[in-house]
Amino acid sequence: MTKTVKRASKRPAGKRGLTPNSEAICSLRLYVAGQTPKSLTAIRNLKRICELHVDIPYRIEVIDLMANPHLAGADQILAIPTLVRKLPEPVRKIIGDLSSVQRVLIALDIDKRIEERHDA
């Protein structure tokens, strides 16, 4: 079963994370295995990171591989939890419970965009 959550940041644009663009959307797919503590932590951490650091509309799709194991092949998932950023391209992946905010920001290329904005 997949679950989609659509949210847009309520904070003013340009304060943090991916910057606003009229056509931009951040599409994230989180692969988990049931309701394990690690899976629940990854979901919670991802939602918090998006709310605080992503300025464009984003979509989080949670895919439970216990219910749909055949979906692991689409993104070549070898470990769980795994987060896949589908958009904006290029595709990026990060494995783990997403507890290190800085590591997630760097892996998703959000940290680089923050630095670029401050340099401008």
For 80-95, the pLDDT digits (tens) are: 999 999 998 899 999 9
> Per-residue pLDDT tens for 25-52?
889 999 999 999 999 999 999 999 999 9
**Helix and strand counts by DSSP (H, E) for the chain:** 3, 5
| Full-model pTM | 0.74
- What's the pLDDT score for residue 110? 73
Q: How far is CA 105 from CA 5, 20, 64, 70, 74, in A?
A: 20, 17, 23, 29, 24
Mind listing the domains of the chain with CATH numbers? 2-7+25-119 (3.40.30.10)
pLDDT of residue 107: 87
Phi and psi at 106, nearest 5°, equal -70, -45
